[in-house]
Amino acid sequence: MTHFKRSLVIGLWFMFLALPLMVVRVNTLNHEIEWRWANMLWLGFCAFALAWFWRASTERRAARQALGVAAGRPLLAKLSWAQRLSDDPALSRRLLLIVAAAALIFPWVVSTSQNFYHVNIMVSALIFVVLGLGLNITVGLAGLLDLGYIAFFAVGAYTYALLARNFDLGFWTCLPLGGIMAMFFGIVLGFPILRLRGDYLAIVTLGFGSITKIVLENSEELFGGAAGIAGIPRPDLFGLVLDGREKSLYSYYIVLALVALTIFVTNRLKNSRIGWAWMALREDEIACVAMGVDMARTKLSAYALGAFWAGLVGVIFAAHNNFINPDSFTFMDSAMILSMVVLGGMGSILGVIIAALALKLLPEYLRAVAEYRMLVFGAVMVLMMIFRPQGLISNLRRKYERAPADESDGHGK
């Protein structure tokens, strides 16, 4: 019965919390007070029910686990499908082919010469996939918490917009330039601050992100100020004239190619000498330095490489939208990209892709429930961290030890 009592207390507590904010609404214009008691009762009831179920389910799980231990079964024998997939090269290659084919024909299936809305949405989402993968290098692999990542995206976008406007440079010339420019910024900004501890690094990068936005807003002559820059040329294709849909398709394939390239490069990086150095640094800085890893260079390379991808995709963003202004580069966007990395599972490429697509596409198609969108989004972030802190797909480390003979279930070679 203590169960019931505790749940009741929780329900009552939430009713108490709800009292001013959810019940009373003061209308200052006509001097009326609105009392919405039903809200409080609903919340109290839901909290009670949730607490009750939660307790019941944890108890059952505990009982089952106790049983399992008694029977001598290992607790973690079950592997998720994603991990099984990554352990079976044949299966994962086949799946990769299917996904690639689907991505290639996707725009032809969903678009017509009039209706290419879905393609445009997909381009926006894929841009964030690249951003997520780029930040994954900095945060996921090297463990450097960057809360101002969107600034590098802005650097790329503005590089293209300004070069195209002032010097008439084309998209393909600017694409690498945008990346290099962002990388350069990453190195210049990163140099003085990389010796800071994790949380200090977080606030300083956040500061850099804000400064970038303010500078863009304030200098009208150079960056177009708050009004932004309009009329940015779309990517050119050997001087061919493209109609609206073809332009979207073209952007789609460019960004898709960039996604593929990013996946390829991060995958190779992950298993390279520098990648191991990053991960080692993330796990234990002191031990890592003692082993002879050059800390400054390793950290700086992670920071700069992450910035490079943001710069590249920034150029595509500017070209795809024709228009940029500082409003697209706020702290909320940085937080969004960081959430993609963490929700997807730090360091896991597949996880980041899934998370980025989900976070960008769901709101786009959930406009009907737009009001509750952000509320749910915040709650999901908290719940994910509590119930699945390793993310959607946890980043399995390559194991080098041989599995003991008596636990022979084939995986983990």
Partner 1 sequence: MSTLVKFATAAALALAATTPALAADTIKIGVAGPHTGDLAPYGLPTKDAAEMLIAEVNAKGGINGKQIELLFVDDQCKPEIATNVATKLVSEGVNVVIGHVCSGATKAAMGIYKGAKVIVISPSATNPPLTKSGDYPNFYRTIASDDDQGKMAATFVIDKLNAKKIAIVHDKGDYGKGFADFSKEAIEKSGKAKVVMYEGIQPGAMDYTAVIQKLRKEGADALIFGGYHPEASKLLALMNKRKINVPFIGPDGIKGDGFLKIAGKDAEGVYATGPMDVSKYPLNVKAHNDYKAKYGKEPGTFFDQGYAATLAALNAIKVAGGTDYDALGKALKSSVIETTVGKIKFDARGDAEGVGFSVYQVRKGAFVEVK
Partner 2 sequence: MDSEYFFELLCGGLVKGSIYALIALGYTMVYGIIQLINFAHGEIYMIGAFVAFIVSGVLTLTGYGGPTVLLLAAVIAIIYAAAYGYTLEKIAYRPLRAAPRLSPLISAIGASIFLTNYVQLAQTPDFLPFPELITDFDFMEPFSRYVSSVDLVILVVTTLTMIALTVLIKYTRVGKAMRATQQDAVMARLVGINVDRVISATFIIGSALAAIAGVLIASRTGQINSAIGFMAGIKAFTAAVLGGIGNIPGAVLGGLVLGIAETLGAGYISSAYEDVFAFGLLVLILVLRPAGLLGKAVKQKV
One symbol per residue from 296 to 315: x for binding partner 2 (CB under 8 A), - otherwise; what is it?
A: --------------------
Number of Cβ atoms within 10 Å of the Cβ of 6: 14
Cβ distance to partner 1 smaller for residue 326 or 347: 326
Q: What angle do CA 170, 176, 180 make, to 5 degrees?
A: 130
Give the contacts of 30 (CB within 8 A, at least 6 positions apart): none
> Would you say 241 or 382 has its CB closer to partner 2?
382
Question: 219 or 272, CB closer to partner 2?
Answer: 219
Specify the amino acid at residue 261: L
Among 120, 138, 251, 348, binds partner 1 (CB under 8 A): 120
Q: Interaction with partner 2 in 34-63: which residues (CB under 8 A)?
A: 39
Work out which of 1, 33, 75, 112 binds partner 1, going by CB under 8 A: 112
Q: Which of residues 342-401 bind partner 2 (CB under 8 A)?
A: 342-343, 346, 371-372, 374-375, 377-382, 384-386, 389
Residues 404 and 390: their CA atoms lie apart, in Å, by 26
Q: Say which entry of partner 1, partner 2, none residue 222 contacts (CB below 5 to 8 A, set by partner kind).
A: none
Binding partner of residue 113 among partner 2, partner 1, none, CB under 5 to 8 Å per kind?
partner 1
* Distance in angstroms (rounded) separating the CA atoms of residues 298 and 283: 14
Give the SS3 label for residue 36.
coil
- Output DSSP code: residue 365: H
Residues contacting residue 83 through CB under 8 Å, at least 6 positions apart: 393, 394, 396, 411
Using CB under 8 A as the criterion, what x/- string covers residues 28-47 for binding partner 1?
Answer: xx------------------
By rule CB under 8 A, what string of x and - marks binding of each residue 72-111 to partner 2? ----------------------------------------
Tokens 């082993």 map to which residue?
A: 291
CA distance 161 to 155: 10
Binding mask of the shown chain, residues 240 to 259, with x at each position contacting partner 1 by CB under 8 A: ---xx---x-----------
Residue 120 binds which entry of partner 1, partner 2, none, with Cβ cut-offs from 5 to 8 Å by kind? partner 1
413 and 364 in contact (C-beta within 8 Å)? Answer: no
